[in-house]
Amino acid sequence: MAQHLTLISCITLFLLLLIVPSNAGNPTRKKLPSKYENLEIKEPLMVLSNSKNPESLHVPSNSENLATKERQPFGFLNHLKGGKKGENLAGIRELKKYLNKFGYLNYKSINAHDNDHFDDMLEAAVKTYQANYNLKITGILDSETISKMVMPRCGFPDIINGTNSMTKKHQGHQHHSPNKLHIVAHYSYYGGSYKWPAGKTHLYYWFETHITSLSVKRAVRGAVNRWASYTQHFSFEETLDSQSSDLTVTFYRGDHGDGSAFDGPGGVIAHAFFPTDGRLHFDADEPWSIGAIPNYVDLESVALHQIGHLLGLGHSTVPDAIMYPGISYGVVKTNFHPDDRQGIKALYNF
Ligand SMILES: [Zn+2]
Ligand SMILES: [Zn+2]
């Protein structure tokens, strides 16, 4: 009897193994390298292959509403409208963190400023922000200022080490002092110069292995090729060998260990590191698209901007420039502006 039961158990187990595939419920996701073990990487364009039009994303019917509802990382700003110096307003502490993150405040310790008081330093920071974004310089959180601040944007700071890259363009990156680099501690290992060395004009790029979508790769390749033909200085080549790559492309969500945590849908959408670091990170939580789709962010447009950072460019005040920090949903922005050309030419003297 016991032998009979054992035999039945074995047969049952064998049948179960046959029926249940090892990747049940998740047929498209490959096993990630150990450092991503706890990270659920969204394949942003995974439904694309089912689409009749290969260049447009199939959008599930309720996802637009969902995306809009969840897109709140900078939502606190809407409650600060009209705020000015001397006031105490709930949420000012969040504004201080925001302006500190993007370089407008240079706190030694954010804890000392963790309060809702609109002080002198904050007013000065708001004025600098307004100057950078071509707004009326009032120091008051008027609706124009708030509407700029809530835009989805690049995580790269506008001001680095106290040097405002948006007003003193192309000068800031040469004077690097790691001691003062409070805002972006992870940039401090770049060393003295934020550019690729002379003669290093052919750059190898590598997609992190979790990126399996051909559409994602195609979008990034498209951006890379645009920079190549635009500069006529850099050329790029994809490599499958991470060790030999100069540039790496990765999707992350939330805190991913480089000191600049992503913040879910909206808010910061991507960031990249100056030469010769070469890392480009996209926020996996963004509603990415290929092409202009309402409430979605065009991947190639953002890749184009981030590659500018990989080449050493900071942000531009020109809204039409690729290097402008913010991007709107539902737009494709892949045309360079003369300002972009001036930037890259000044940096590399070609
Ligand atoms: Zn940027
Ligand atoms: Zn990152």
Q: What is the CATH number of the domain that holds 242?
A: 3.40.390.10
281 is in an annotated binding site: yes
**Does residue 243 fall inside a structural domain?**
yes
**Confidence bin at 159 (pLDDT 50/70/90):** confident
Indicate the Cα dihedral angle 163, 168, 174, 178, nearest 10°. 10
Q: How far is the CA of 313 from the centre of ligand 2 (A)?
A: 17
Which ligand is the nearest neighbour of the Cα of 327? 1
Per-residue pLDDT averaged across 24-29, rounded?
33
In this prediction, residue 126 carries a pLDDT of 98
**Confidence bin at 4 (pLDDT 50/70/90):** low
* Percent of the chain surpassing pLDDT 90: 55
48 pLDDT above the threshold of 80? no
Q: Rounded mean pLDDT of the chain?
A: 78
Q: How far is the CA of 99 from the centre of ligand 2 (A)?
A: 19
Buried b (16+ CB within 10 A) or exposed e, 219-242: bbbebbebbbebbeebebeebeee
Number of domains in the chain: 2
Residue with tokens 């501690």: 185
Task: Identify which of 24-38, 183-197, 235-249 has the greatest average pLDDT.
Answer: 235-249
**Does residue 119 fall inside a structural domain?**
yes
Q: Which domain CATH number covers 110?
A: 1.10.101.10
332 and 196 together in one domain: yes
- Per the model's pLDDT, the better-predicted residue between 8 and 302 turns out to be 302
Least confident span in 6-10, 94-98, 158-162, 212-216: 6-10
125 and 198 together in one domain: no
142 is in an annotated binding site: no
4 is in an annotated binding site: no
In this prediction, residue 3 carries a pLDDT of 55
230 and 344 together in one domain: yes
Per-residue pLDDT averaged across 120-138, rounded?
96
110 and 245 together in one domain: no
**Does residue 336 fall inside a structural domain?**
yes
Which ligand is the nearest neighbour of the Cα of 315? 1
Buried b (16+ CB within 10 A) or exposed e, 257-283: ebebebbbbbbbbbbbbbbbbbbbbbb
Strand order in 247-252's β-sheet?
Answer: 153-154, 268-272, 279-283, 247-252, 202-207, 235-238
**Confidence bin at 121 (pLDDT 50/70/90):** very high
116 is in an annotated binding site: no
In this prediction, residue 269 carries a pLDDT of 96
* Residue-number span of the structural domain to which 192 is assigned: 188-348
Distance CA 92, CA 115 (A): 7
In this prediction, residue 8 carries a pLDDT of 55
In this prediction, residue 26 carries a pLDDT of 34
Q: How far is the CA of 300 from the centre of ligand 1 (A)?
A: 14
**Does residue 201 fall inside a structural domain?**
yes
339 pLDDT above the threshold of 90? no
315 is in an annotated binding site: yes
121 and 207 together in one domain: no
239 and 341 together in one domain: yes
Q: Which helix (H) or strand (E) holds 336?
A: none
SS3 category, 249 = strand
Please compute, for residue 171, the number of CA atoms within 13 A of its CA located in the half-sphere on the CB side.
7
In this prediction, residue 174 carries a pLDDT of 36
Q: How far is the CA of 90 from the centre of ligand 2 (A)?
A: 29
**Confidence bin at 89 (pLDDT 50/70/90):** very high
Which ligand is the nearest neighbour of the Cα of 156? 1
> Considering only CA atoms, which of 308, 275, 293 is closest in space to residue 200?
275
Which ligand is the nearest neighbour of the Cα of 254? 2
293 and 223 together in one domain: yes
**Confidence bin at 268 (pLDDT 50/70/90):** very high
Least confident span in 123-127, 221-225, 273-277: 273-277
Q: How far is the CA of 347 from the centre of ligand 2 (A)?
A: 24
**Confidence bin at 29 (pLDDT 50/70/90):** very low
140 and 221 together in one domain: no
Q: How far is the CA of 156 from the centre of ligand 1 (A)?
A: 5
145 and 196 together in one domain: no
In this prediction, residue 2 carries a pLDDT of 52
217 and 293 together in one domain: yes
258 is in an annotated binding site: yes
Which ligand is the nearest neighbour of the Cα of 284? 2
320 is in an annotated binding site: no
10 is in an annotated binding site: no
Per-residue pLDDT averaged across 323-347, rounded?
90
246 is in an annotated binding site: yes
Per-residue pLDDT averaged across 242-253, rounded?
94
**Does residue 17 fall inside a structural domain?**
no
Among the three residues 133, 150, 167, which one is the final residue of a domain in this structure?
A: 150
Q: How far is the CA of 178 from the centre of ligand 1 (A)?
A: 20
Which ligand is the nearest neighbour of the Cα of 103? 1
76 and 217 together in one domain: no
86 is in an annotated binding site: no
**Does residue 170 fall inside a structural domain?**
no
- Per the model's pLDDT, the better-predicted residue between 57 and 277 turns out to be 277
Least confident span in 15-24, 117-126, 193-202, 337-346: 15-24
121 is in an annotated binding site: no
First to last CA, the chain: 86
* Percent of the chain surpassing pLDDT 70: 72
- Per the model's pLDDT, the better-predicted residue between 112 and 60 turns out to be 112
309 is in an annotated binding site: yes
**Does residue 237 fall inside a structural domain?**
yes
SS3 category, 42 = coil
State pLDDT tens for residues 51-80: 333 333 333 333 444 444 455 899 999 999
**Does residue 160 fall inside a structural domain?**
no
In this prediction, residue 164 carries a pLDDT of 74
83 and 231 together in one domain: no
Q: How far is the CA of 320 from the centre of ligand 1 (A)?
A: 14
